[in-house]
């Protein structure tokens, strides 16, 4: 079965739209600010997608763009202003930043209650101990794809290929919290196949086309392909040899149309949750009430 991330994202966005309307009744319009610097063409496409998605469900959004030679002070000052702006409930910094900027320092300057990407140290720490405030969007997308496809995680063998701070590591922790037995593989892993073959659920986020071939996957496994790679002929592919693996897997996500559309959707969801927490009146079902517990 092919897991259709596009269709799932559309359904979730329709639900989010209702939550936005309910918030309007309480006098609140959720707002997302995107901070970006430099001329990275991929970043421009990603930011445009995020802004478009905000518009589709009625979120306010703004882009704060800086030239490639911007100094840290200017970016930090802008984030300080956004932290204090009541119209803004979520702030993200589009990565990568130009190399001369200290990305970590800039991420840490975001007020953690507005850190809807979940990259602030506070939010990373909360996730580690299972008190997640804002689940990072790509791992959250994978978790939601599994849940909405009716795939149980508890007690299953999960292998995550890729150990980055934005995808592999937080995802492994989130699935561990759901009761999976998790192995994390990375570039230094010897004989990747000896791990992948054991996976009931295999998640691949390495950024290498055709890294996962048919023989590396157990018959009946669930395969989630997070990778996005542009081939020299212009085609967009994941990290999995889709045709070969599809013949063995019980479920598989395509690229494009799998994890990608869900990632942007999760960003909308986190921004909504931040606004719901702040809104006056009764909390809605689905609001991230647990945010308050971390105050
Ligand atoms: P990254 O470069 O920060 O990390 C890649 C990880 O994969 C590292 O831990 C590395 O050790 C591991 N790796 C690389 N080559 C490997 C190999 N041959 N064998 C085993 N492990 C290997 O990348 P990232 O930011 O985590 O992104 C990973 C991929 O996911 C990229 O293709 C990226 O474009 C994609 N991505 C997609 C989405 C989405 O929404 N679909 C979001 C974020 C990232």
d(CA 37, CA 71): 10
**Cβ pair 194, 152 in contact under 8 A:** no
pTM: 0.94
pLDDT digits (tens, 9 = 90+) for 268-293: 999 999 999 987 765 444 444 444 34
Q: How far is the CA of 167 from the centre of ligand 1 (A)?
A: 7
d(CA 75, CA 102): 10
- Parse the chain into domains and list their residue ranges: 26-112, 137-259
> Is residue 117 flagged as an active site residue?
yes
Kindly give the residue spans of alpha helices, DSSP state H, lying in the chain: 5-25, 41-57, 72-84, 103-108, 121-128, 137-148, 168-177, 192-196, 242-246, 259-278, 290-293
Q: Which of 115, 117, 225, 239 is catalytic?
A: 117
Sign of the torsion formed by the C-alpha atoms of 78, 287, 9 and 226: positive
Q: How far is the CA of 80 from the centre of ligand 1 (A)?
A: 31
DSSP string, 39-73: --HHHHHHHHHHHHHHHHHT-EEEEEEE-TT--HH
222-225, strands of its sheet edge to edge: 181-185, 157-161, 201-204, 222-225, 251-252
pLDDT at 240 over 80: yes
Q: Express as a percent the part of the chain with pLDDT over 90.
A: 93
pLDDT at 78 over 80: yes
Is 137-259 in the same CATH topology as 26-112?
A: yes
**Residue closest by Cα to atom 22 of ligand 1:** 187
Give the fold, CATH level 3, of 137-259. Rossmann fold (3.40.50)
The helix/strand/coil state of 251 is strand
pLDDT (0 to 100) of residue 186 = 98
pLDDT (0 to 100) of residue 278 = 81
Nearest-atom index, ligand 1, CA of 207: 32
Q: How far is the CA of 205 from the centre of ligand 1 (A)?
A: 4
The helix/strand/coil state of 257 is coil
| Helices (runs of H) and strands (runs of E) counted in the chain | 11, 10
Strands 229-230, 236-237: pairing is antiparallel
Tokens of residue 194, six digits: 């000896």
> Is residue 208 flagged as an active site residue?
no
The pLDDT confidence band at residue 200, using thresholds 50, 70 and 90, is very high
Instruction: Determine the length of the chain.
Output: 295
pLDDT digits (tens, 9 = 90+) for 132-177: 999 999 999 999 999 999 999 999 999 999 999 999 999 999 999 9
pLDDT (0 to 100) of residue 62 = 98
DSSP state of 190: S
Per CATH, the number for 26-112 is 3.40.50.10860
d(CA 260, CA 53): 12
pLDDT digits (tens, 9 = 90+) for 7-62: 999 999 999 999 999 999 999 999 999 999 999 999 999 999 999 999 999 999 99
* CB contact burial 10-45 (16+ within 10 A = b; e otherwise): eebbeebbebbebbeeeebebbbbbbbbbebeebee
d(CA 199, CA 181): 10
Among residues 96, 38, 31, the alpha carbon closest in space to that of 65 is found at 38
Q: What is the mean pLDDT of residues 189-201?
A: 98
Helix (H) or strand (E) holding 35: strand 31-37
> Is residue 50 flagged as an active site residue?
yes
The pLDDT confidence band at residue 109, using thresholds 50, 70 and 90, is very high
> Any idea which residue has 């990407």 for tokens?
117
pLDDT (0 to 100) of residue 284 = 45
pLDDT, the chain, mean? 94
Tokens of residue 60, six digits: 């306010």
Mutate to test the pocket of ligand 1, among 9, 95, 165, 205 (most ligand atoms within 8 A of CB): 205
């Amino acid at each position: 079965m092919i897991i259709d991330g596009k269709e799932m994202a559309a359904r979730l966005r329709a639900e989010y739209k209702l939550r936005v309307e309910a918030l309007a009744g309480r006098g609140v319009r959720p707002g997302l600010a995107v901070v970006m610097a430099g001329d990275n063409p991929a970043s421009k496409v990603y930011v445009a997608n995020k802004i478009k998605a905000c518009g589709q469900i009625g979120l306010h959004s703004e882009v704060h763009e800086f030239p490639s030679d911007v100094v840290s002070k200017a970016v930090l000052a802008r984030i300080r202003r956004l932290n204090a702006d009541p119209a803004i409930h979520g702030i993200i910094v589009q990565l990568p930043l130009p190399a001369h900027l200290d990305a970590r320092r800039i991420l840490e300057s975001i007020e953690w209650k507005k850190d809807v990407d979940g990259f602030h140290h506070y939010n990373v720490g909360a996730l580690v101990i299972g008190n997640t405030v804002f689940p990072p969007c790509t791992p959250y997308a994978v978790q939601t794809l599994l849940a909405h496809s009716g795939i149980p995680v508890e007690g299953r063998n999960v292998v995550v290929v890729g150990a980055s701070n934005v995808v592999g590591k937080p995802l492994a922790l989130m699935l561990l919290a759901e009761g999976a037995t998790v192995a994390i593989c990375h570039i230094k892993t010897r004989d990747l196949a000896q791990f992948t073959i054991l996976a009931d659920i295999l998640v691949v986020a390495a950024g290498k086309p055709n890294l996962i071939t048919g023989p590396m996957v157990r018959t009946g496994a669930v395969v989630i392909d997070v990778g996005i790679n542009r081939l020299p002929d212009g085609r967009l592919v994941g990290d999995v040899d889709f045709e070969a693996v599809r013949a063995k897997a019980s479920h598989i996500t395509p690229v494009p149309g799998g994890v990608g559309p869900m990632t942007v959707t999760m960003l909308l969801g986190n921004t909504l949750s931040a606004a719901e927490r702040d809104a006056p009146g009764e909390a809605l079902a689905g609001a991230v009430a647990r945010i308050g517990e971390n105050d």
